[in-house]
Amino acid sequence: METTTIVTSKGQVTIPKEIRQKLGIRKGTRIEFILLDGRVELRIHSPPADIPQTGFGLIKSKRKPVPADFDPAELLKDES
Residue 31 placed within a domain: yes
pLDDT at position 12, please?
93
Question: Strand pairing partners for 46?
Answer: 30
Collapsing DSSP to helix, strand or coil, 76 comes out as helix
pLDDT digits (tens, 9 = 90+) for 3-12: 888 999 999 9
- Higher-confidence position of 80 and 73: 73
| Coil vs helix vs strand at 35 | strand
pLDDT of 80 higher than 60: no
- The verdict on pTM exceeding 0.75 is no
Q: Is residue 27 part of a domain?
A: yes
Q: Residue type at 11?
A: G
- CATH number of the domain encompassing residue 41: 2.10.260
Domain that holds residue 39: 14-50
